[in-house]
C-alpha cells in the first residue's frame, strides 16, 4: 500500500504503477493485486486508520488512480491502428 500512496503523492498514474509493479515484482504479482479490484483495495485501506488518514483527503484522486491501476490491461491491450500504405 505504501507504494500506491507514494505514486499518487508524486503525481504518478495507475498505469505507471502497474508497469513498475510488473517490472519489479513480475506479472503474477500485478495480476494478484489488480484482481482484488478497486472496491476491495479501498475496503482494506479503510480498515487501517493510519493509512485511511492519508487517503481520505485525496479519496477522489486515489479512486481514479486505482481505476487506472486495475484497468492497466485494458489500456495495454489497445494497439494503435496502422494505416495501409
For 15-30, the DSSP string reads: HHHHHHHHHHH-HHHH
How does pLDDT run across 2-43, given as a tens digit for each residue? 788 889 989 999 999 999 999 999 999 999 999 999 999 999
Alpha helix positions (H), 1-85: 2-9, 14-25, 27-46, 49-55, 59-70, 72-76
* Overall pTM > 0.75: yes
Where do the structural domains in the chain lie, given as residue ranges? 2-71
CA 38, CA 42: separation in Å to the nearest integer? Answer: 6
Amino acid at each position: 500500500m505504501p507504494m500506491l500512496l507514494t505514486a499518487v503523492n508524486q503525481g504518478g498514474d495507475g498505469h505507471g504503477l502497474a508497469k513498475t509493479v510488473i517490472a519489479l515484482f513480475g506479472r503474477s504479482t500485478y495480476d494478484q493485486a489488480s484482481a482484488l479490484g478497486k472496491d476491495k483495495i479501498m475496503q482494506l485501506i479503510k480498515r487501517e486508520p493510519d493509512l485511511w488518514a492519508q487517503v481520505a483527503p485525496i479519496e477522489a484522486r486515489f479512486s481514479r488512480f486505482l481505476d487506472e491501476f486495475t484497468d492497466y490491461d485494458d489500456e495495454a491491450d489497445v494497439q494503435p491502428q496502422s494505416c495501409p500504405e
